[in-house]
Structure 1
Amino acid sequence: MGGNSSDSDNDNIDISSLLVPTAKSSQKKNKSSKEKSSEKTVEINPEETATKSKPGNKTKSNFELLGLSQNLAKATYHRGYRQPTPVQRKTIPVIVSKRDVVAMARTGSGKTASYMLPILHRLYAHKQQIGIRCVIIVPNRELAIQVYNEAIYFIKGSNSNLRVGLIVGGDSLESQFNLLVTQNPDIVIATPGRLLHVSVEMKLSFNLLEVLCFDEADRLFEMGFGVQLTELLNIFPKARQTLLFSATMPESLVGFINLGLSDPFFVRLDTELKLSENLSMSFFNIQENNRDASLMFLLDKIGAKKQTIIFCSTKYTVEYLHLLVTKFGYKAAYIYGSLDQTARQIQMNLFRKNLVSLLIVTDLAARGIDIPILDYVINYNFIDNTKIFVHRVGRVARAGRSGWAYSLLTPDELPYLIDLKLFLGRELVYGKGKDVDYRKTLVMGNLSNEMIHNQVSSISAYFSVDSALENCRTASNNSMIKYRKSRIVPSASSYKEAKLLVSSKATLEPNPLFSSTLNSSQLTMINSISGYKPNQTIFEQGLRGNKLISDPARLSIVQFRLKNSGYIKETKNKQRVNEKISEIQPEKSFVDDEYYIPHRKPDADTEKGYALLKGNTFAEQAQNAMVSLTNDDNFNRPINKKVLRWDSKKKNFVQGLGIGSDNKKLITTESGVKLPATYKTDAFKDYLKKTKLPNVQVGQVELPGMSDNFENKKRVKNFHTKISARKELDSKHINYEKSLKKRKFESGDNGKQKSDKIPKIINGKLNVGKSKDGKMLKSELLTAEKIRKNRSIQESKFRRSNNVKSKPRK
């Protein structure tokens, strides 16, 4: 991991130093031509190069210089990639050299192609040997589908015959069994839970695995996939290449120590520029009861034709907003975690095909999903984690496009904005002036009631006539109460700064983005009202005449002022002096740029934001309080079996882990990891019995036409007369004893069965026996002549009974 400090310099990268050995050998053969071509590798069409260039002096494209094959270079050109991005220039040559890589780069920088292209280059072509050769693990289904489509595009573009499979939750297990048994995929893209379920059901072996890739690696740990990852890593072979990619990766790799990394190459780009340089951001200070009206105001300013994603914190809020925006005439789709997989795909396709303009989602869609034409992101609920903010706003301003990110904040969410300011290292500007840079600073301002009064009245009218909308809002508010209790606690310094920010009334300044909607007289009136301080206390309000003299509350206030008049004057004089001093001579910093040693690292706030565990929740603090010297090979394995725990039934502390107390059955794998019993249900055995397919083993040679085995069995000659052995009786069946006695009687085990009644099989056909008289039994099969005779007899009977004369024959 050490020795890569120079990798942060993205502008001064010499591509010739990243060439693979094959490129270096060609360089020795033709030095003069290579020196010329290395200066001209800027934007070259591989197809034009193959036709126009001479064989001896062929100019390679940029992606070929990174070590990729010519076919893959053509696929990248048709995909629209002309220049490799910084993360691609850094990682592709290292991955091609079969070294472990841990890479971090901002959203929209081409990380998917950074690992997909060298994986396809390494696997090259489909093997007839049965077994998975590459596994790509992603945190959610939408990202898995996107990576799958990207892999399919590159495979078809490079004329490769590699096979890709998708294993995600929500799809049927039988279809995924069929994929692994009949298709023999080389690359499997999966979510960890379903991949472990399928591997346990099938007793799947990964002996041929060459590459293991984790996309959005830090999210896999944060989402609670510790048990699944532990078992999967025990199943995967140790001799493999491991790749980790994410947009937010901590500098310390302690959290990934159990992934089996071997001398990884650490790439950490754009640490200063965490967001896209084409992203503009604006923050709006609002009141909680005006959150819905503020959202509708922003949507009205954006317009109905712009593609917009709205991020919420709970699925109940998603359902409520979907119903609300529909009332206002917007077409919207929605996605949340517990939504059915088919419904999620339908909703995402509606938004991708521009059939709807709004997509309302939870943080499920914040990771890795690339939507081609996306203009705006709105944070309806603000984040409690700076990494989530980076992934949310990273959905826009991707691949050189520009975009906007709007965020709604209430006063209790201001500390999280201060944490974000420290993490991004940007200045927080309060709505002063119009010449503000929305791309380099955090611009914050107020949305006044005058701006949103139309939306407030419209929403009130909808609530008065629609009870379903009111019920959805109640459910959303109740879910937000629980969500706020589970939020990460911001730092104490952020609380203090946010408190000073509220007391200074800087948040009351209107946001300069929409301040033009108010005229100067309205702004003057708002500022005068906000800065008004009455000279009387609440006890003196409304007192007139004799009450002004005789009221006891007013007299007590007067006595207090007379008693403390000196202290009040002294305090006011100090405030005036301090104001004059601050205006005349600003406070100087005591920090010496050359000799001062700070008490904390310069990038401490950034690393705190990137950390996998924040340490602010009770579970994390309890985990950190435990000390273990033995169980260091699993992520979430219980530390001590004798630890005391609270038993809600016995109302007392008891020893043990409580396994089984919740009536959930568990199974123990070979590596000792406990999994739910639902992971092993014999579904694969039932699938093999149903389809009559063979249970192929890893390492065997793929049978030609393996997927047609079931059809071939039905095409066998004399299939309906084929005699096969009887099935074994099920001992758990209700008629087991009766069927067993019947079978024993037919087989003659009890001596009562006569041997001449046993059916005999001669030449694969059932031989009929003889009757009691010794005569041959008549065959029940009718000939064509016999069938015609029976029909004529039935017709004549019908005519006699109905007195119908027969037609004369011609």
Structure 2
Amino acid sequence: MASLPGFANPNEAVEIDTPEEKPKKKTSKKSGGFQSMGLSFNVIKGVTKRGYQQPTPIQRKTIPLVLEGRDVVAMARTGSGKTACFLIPMFEKLKMRSAKAGARALILSPTRELALQTLKFIKELGRFMGLKSAVILGGDSMDDQFSAIHGNPDIIVATPGRFLHVCIEMELKLTSLEYVVFDEADRLFEMGLGEQLSEIVNRLPDSRQTVLFSATLPKVLVEFAKAGLNDPVLLRLDVESKIPEELQLWYVTVRPEERVAALLVLLKDYIDSQQQTIIFAATRHHVEYLHMVLDRVGISNTYIYSNLDPSARKINAAKFSTGKVKVLVVTDVAARGIDIPQLDNVINYNFPAKSKLFVHRVGRCARAGRSGTAFSLVSPDEHAHLLDLHLFLGRPLAIVTKNGEGSVGKIPQGLLEEQHEALLTLHENYVDLVSMKKVTENAYKQYIRSRPAASSDSNRRVKEMPFDKCGTHPIFKERDDYVEEERENLLDQMKSYRPQGTIFEICGKNKSQEYLAMKQKRSFHKEKISSFHETQERKEAEMEALNKSESNLAISTNDDIDDAFEKVILPKKRKLEHLYKKNKKQKLRDDNFIPYLPADRHTEEGLAVNNFQNEATKVQLDLTLDSEDAMRKNAQTKKWDRKKKKMVAVQDQRTGKIRTESGVWIPATYKSNRYAQWKEKSKITNESDDENENTTQSRLQTQPNTHWAKHNKKLKLKQRKSELKTTDQILKARKIADKKKNKQKKKGKKSRRNK
């Protein structure tokens, strides 16, 4: 049989050369993964189904500590996976559902969006655990929250104000809680929820485990950790690199009247329409105005701000997160903790006054290893805040010159004028846009009054920075169709033109007194004028030299270095401050010098929640009440007393009260009758109350003997009384009715006599 090419003859035996068996190397298992943390099967299954492969650095350090039972204060930059750090150990500790024990885990979040996002993570990561979770948010129905707590959930995700309100109404016992999480703790204190947090901590059992996560570590948070946590461990990871390397920062200088046009240029001409973008504005009026403009222009968008209805906020956030809408316009309510996995761009329509707020805004994108871009529109009144930001980040600020590159540049005038003309036609056709624009202008004036001022160093340095000579931004230089070099050069020459002589020298006669006086003055200050021009030219040359790349040679990689060198010695401390140390001789000279300002003052000022200097400047003692506002406030705090015949001071209505997320002030100790009404309406039996009768009696005995405690006892006694009246009560009621009839008869007789 003829052999076919490519096939062996089946009748012939084929000898196979077996290679020599090599000794197998021992395969080392990868350590540092979720499998090596000793987690149970259902937890690992949920983690892998969610798509997590390797833990992030903060997860690798935090999860083992929390599993040991330690109280942890963890710090890491936004987008580093902090949510999974406290959810994975929580699932491992709770294990299975317990219907009788009550809530065993509590997670407190600053905003409703972050709380809903955490609830979504719980359902995704813990899908195989069988645990029941409930969410308690301000603005939602309290009846639904009462029924959710009656269902004995294992995990409660809540905002502090509403959770405390529910605790007061239901007289909720938190003795079953084993695991408590404060998510974005610095934001909780910034929102003024410190009283609520301390009240909740007082109600928690001492045997609990507390985990606190924050992007920054202000002094208020340290004091809270001392009081509320038991021997906590502090984890500071990725603190020095405040912004991820994958995030590109671009700054665009604009005039205030061209800010909307610049936003449209970015959205239409530069950013891809398929990418998701968040726009941060200063006030809710700006959000509404931008929403209206983008709708008229044809860009699909939605919006979120704090005063928006909770259901509308939920719907709008869902539209954006699911990808139905590509642009979201928000205030700073969405600057913390919101995780949108596919977010590509962040635009700061109004530049933030605080550096820490900028970090949280731009931290919404470039999360978990993804790349992203942050655009910031900067007007002249915000240049000092931009310098403050770069002092806080520890980065140099590169302004784009004619021949160089940088991160601060401007939009070509042709693109701006095109969008500006389109906006003018829109305002001519739609009256509501004109009225809304006036509202935003007034709102911006109020915003500037409350905006924190930039540091004195930045205000001084901003005068030396050549923002007026800023060139076209590199991102627009790639678009050759729109770059008009000749037009831009002509405009730059017109802006920088300065005549050689003054008005007296140009228009006056050669022998006039003004002309001779100016000539004499010019000759007297000739050296100073020439030195000034020399310094200006030197600064421009330095700026161009800084912006130019030092070398065109290719940078060596780590593999090239390893191939060339067998041994590489690295410094023990890899910090930037050690790389730029001054020489030892200079250190010896400054041996006895004590600086009045610390070296890291810009970073500390940026991280501060309450700056003492700013707070102290606001405090004043008015003795004469010479201002109109002070007199009006003083009049409002007094009322007329009929008995004393004079104006008396009124006690502050907020004393003894606590503010909820919705802005309502509720009493700290008094509870209304809403829970009892809900129980009657929903026909809930008191079986659970009978089971816990002994515990409630012991709690009532230890209740403080206050006015409101006695008041609550009286209300309970009234509710227990039967509706059937005794004979004495019936006789008493009849006597009162007879007296009323007699009084009415006497009044009728008097009226007849008068007639």
Pick the TM interval, shorter chain.
0.7 to 0.9
Q: Do residues 267 (structure 1) and 235 (structure 2) align?
A: yes
Alignment map for 1:565-644 (pairs within 5 Å)? 565-575=522-532, 591-592=582-583, 596=587, 599=595, 600-615=597-612, 617-618=614-615, 622=619
In structure 2, C-alpha distance between the alignment counterparts of 1:476 and 1:578, rounded to whole Å:
42
Q: Indicate the residue corresponding to 2:425 in structure 1.
A: 461
Q: Do residues 535 (structure 1) and 462 (structure 2) align?
A: no
Q: Indicate the residue corresponding to 2:29 in structure 1.
A: 40
C-alpha deviations, 1:631-674, integer Å up to 9, x for none? Answer: xxxxxxxxxxxxxx97334789xxxxx995466685699xxxx9
Q: Indicate the residue corresponding to 2:415 in structure 1.
A: 451
In structure 2, C-alpha distance between the alignment counterparts of 1:583 and 1:288, rounded to whole Å:
26
| Helix, strand or coil at the partner of 1:325 | helix
Q: 1:84 aligns with which of 43, 46, 55?
A: 55
| Helix, strand or coil at the partner of 1:429 | coil
Q: Is the 8 A contact 1:125 1:160 kept in 2?
A: yes
Following superposition, the deviation at residue 208 of structure 1 comes to 1.3
Tell me: CA distance 1:697–1:556, structure 2 relative to 1, closer, same or farther (3 Å): farther
Q: Indicate the residue corresponding to 1:710 in structure 2.
A: none
Tell me: CA distance 1:621–1:119, structure 2 relative to 1, closer, same or farther (3 Å): farther
Tell me: CA distance 1:557–1:410, structure 2 relative to 1, closer, same or farther (3 Å): farther
Gaps of at least 5 residues in structure 1 are 1-34, 43-60, 437-441, 626-644, 653-657, 703-727, 751-810
In structure 2, C-alpha distance between the alignment counterparts of 1:163 and 1:556, rounded to whole Å:
93
Following superposition, the deviation at residue 611 of structure 1 comes to 2.0
C-alpha deviations, 1:416-455, integer Å up to 9, x for none? Answer: 111110111111111137885xxxxx71112343330011
| Helix, strand or coil at the partner of 1:338 | coil
Q: Which amino acid aligns with 1:211?
A: Y
Q: Is the 8 A contact 2:185 2:221 kept in 1?
A: no
Q: 1:256 aligns with which of 224, 228, 247?
A: 224
Alignment map for 1:422-433 (pairs within 5 Å)? 422-432=391-401
Q: Is the 8 A contact 1:326 1:332 kept in 2?
A: yes
Q: Is the 8 A contact 2:225 2:232 kept in 1?
A: no
| Helix, strand or coil at the partner of 1:500 | coil
Alignment map for 1:235-254 (pairs within 5 Å)? 235-250=203-218, 254=222
Following superposition, the deviation at residue 273 of structure 1 comes to 1.5
Q: 1:477 aligns with which of 438, 441, 455?
A: 441
Q: Is the 8 A contact 2:280 2:350 kept in 1?
A: yes
In structure 2, C-alpha distance between the alignment counterparts of 1:232 and 1:123, rounded to whole Å:
21
Following superposition, the deviation at residue 236 of structure 1 comes to 1.6
Q: Which amino acid aligns with 2:29?
A: K
Following superposition, the deviation at residue 106 of structure 1 comes to 1.3
> What is the count of residue pairs matched by the alignment?
618
Alignment map for 1:361-376 (pairs within 5 Å)? 361-376=330-345
Following superposition, the deviation at residue 246 of structure 1 comes to 2.0
| Helix, strand or coil at the partner of 2:462 | helix
Tell me: CA distance 1:693–1:140, structure 2 relative to 1, closer, same or farther (3 Å): same
**Given the two structures, how large is their TM-score scaled by the length of structure 2?**
0.74
Q: Do residues 71 (structure 1) and 28 (structure 2) align?
A: no
Q: 1:512 aligns with which of 447, 454, 474?
A: 474
Q: Do residues 325 (structure 1) and 294 (structure 2) align?
A: yes
**Given the two structures, how large is their TM-score scaled by the length of structure 1?**
0.70
Q: 1:388 aligns with which of 330, 349, 357?
A: 357
C-alpha deviations, 1:188-236, integer Å up to 9, x for none? Answer: 1111111111111111111111111111110000111122112112212
Q: Indicate the residue corresponding to 2:458 in structure 1.
A: 494
Q: Is the 8 A contact 2:177 2:205 kept in 1?
A: yes
Tell me: CA distance 1:132–1:620, structure 2 relative to 1, closer, same or farther (3 Å): farther
Tell me: CA distance 1:480–1:83, structure 2 relative to 1, closer, same or farther (3 Å): same
In structure 2, C-alpha distance between the alignment counterparts of 1:465 and 1:102, rounded to whole Å:
56
Following superposition, the deviation at residue 562 of structure 1 comes to 3.4
Q: Indicate the residue corresponding to 1:96 in structure 2.
A: 67
Q: Indicate the residue corresponding to 2:309 in structure 1.
A: 340
Q: 1:676 aligns with which of 666, 671, 682?
A: 666
Q: Is the 8 A contact 1:309 1:358 kept in 2?
A: yes
Q: Is the 8 A contact 1:688 1:695 kept in 2?
A: no
Q: Is the 8 A contact 2:412 2:476 kept in 1?
A: no
Tell me: CA distance 1:697–1:525, structure 2 relative to 1, closer, same or farther (3 Å): farther
Tell me: CA distance 1:604–1:580, structure 2 relative to 1, closer, same or farther (3 Å): closer
Tell me: CA distance 1:660–1:62, structure 2 relative to 1, closer, same or farther (3 Å): farther
Tell me: CA distance 1:698–1:538, structure 2 relative to 1, closer, same or farther (3 Å): farther
Tell me: CA distance 1:302–1:731, structure 2 relative to 1, closer, same or farther (3 Å): same
Q: Indicate the residue corresponding to 2:521 in structure 1.
A: 564
| Helix, strand or coil at the partner of 1:206 | coil
| Helix, strand or coil at the partner of 2:524 | helix
Q: Is the 8 A contact 1:129 1:699 kept in 2?
A: no
In structure 2, C-alpha distance between the alignment counterparts of 1:41 and 1:333, rounded to whole Å:
45
C-alpha deviations, 1:131-161, integer Å up to 9, x for none? Answer: 32111111100000000010111221xx212
| Helix, strand or coil at the partner of 2:126 | helix
Alignment map for 1:2-81 (pairs within 5 Å)? 39-41=28-30, 62-81=33-52
Gaps of at least 5 residues in structure 2 are 1-24, 544-579, 622-631, 640-647, 694-716, 736-755
Q: Is the 8 A contact 1:325 1:332 kept in 2?
A: yes
In structure 2, C-alpha distance between the alignment counterparts of 1:106 and 1:695, rounded to whole Å:
48
| Helix, strand or coil at the partner of 1:496 | helix
Q: Is the 8 A contact 2:43 2:129 kept in 1?
A: no
Tell me: CA distance 1:40–1:469, structure 2 relative to 1, closer, same or farther (3 Å): same
Q: Indicate the residue corresponding to 1:648 in structure 2.
A: 635
Q: Indicate the residue corresponding to 1:204 in structure 2.
A: 172
C-alpha deviations, 1:527-560, integer Å up to 9, x for none? Answer: 212221123435677x5xxxx449xxx9564243
Q: Indicate the residue corresponding to 2:248 in structure 1.
A: 280
Following superposition, the deviation at residue 356 of structure 1 comes to 1.2
Q: Is the 8 A contact 1:64 1:70 kept in 2?
A: no
Q: Indicate the residue corresponding to 1:628 in structure 2.
A: none
Q: Do residues 415 (structure 1) and 384 (structure 2) align?
A: yes
| Helix, strand or coil at the partner of 2:285 | helix
In structure 2, C-alpha distance between the alignment counterparts of 1:729 and 1:67, rounded to whole Å:
56
Following superposition, the deviation at residue 456 of structure 1 comes to 0.6
In structure 2, C-alpha distance between the alignment counterparts of 1:111 and 1:683, rounded to whole Å:
37
Q: Do residues 299 (structure 1) and 275 (structure 2) align?
A: no
Q: Indicate the residue corresponding to 1:689 in structure 2.
A: 680
Tell me: CA distance 1:594–1:345, structure 2 relative to 1, closer, same or farther (3 Å): farther
Q: Which amino acid aligns with 1:327?
A: R
C-alpha deviations, 1:319-375, integer Å up to 9, x for none? Answer: 000001111101111000011111011111111121111100001111111112111
Q: Which amino acid aligns with 1:509?
A: G
Following superposition, the deviation at residue 40 of structure 1 comes to 1.9
Tell me: CA distance 1:578–1:315, structure 2 relative to 1, closer, same or farther (3 Å): closer
Tell me: CA distance 1:120–1:402, structure 2 relative to 1, closer, same or farther (3 Å): same
Q: Do residues 131 (structure 1) and 118 (structure 2) align?
A: no
Following superposition, the deviation at residue 620 of structure 1 comes to 8.3
Tell me: CA distance 1:36–1:275, structure 2 relative to 1, closer, same or farther (3 Å): farther
Tell me: CA distance 1:62–1:457, structure 2 relative to 1, closer, same or farther (3 Å): same
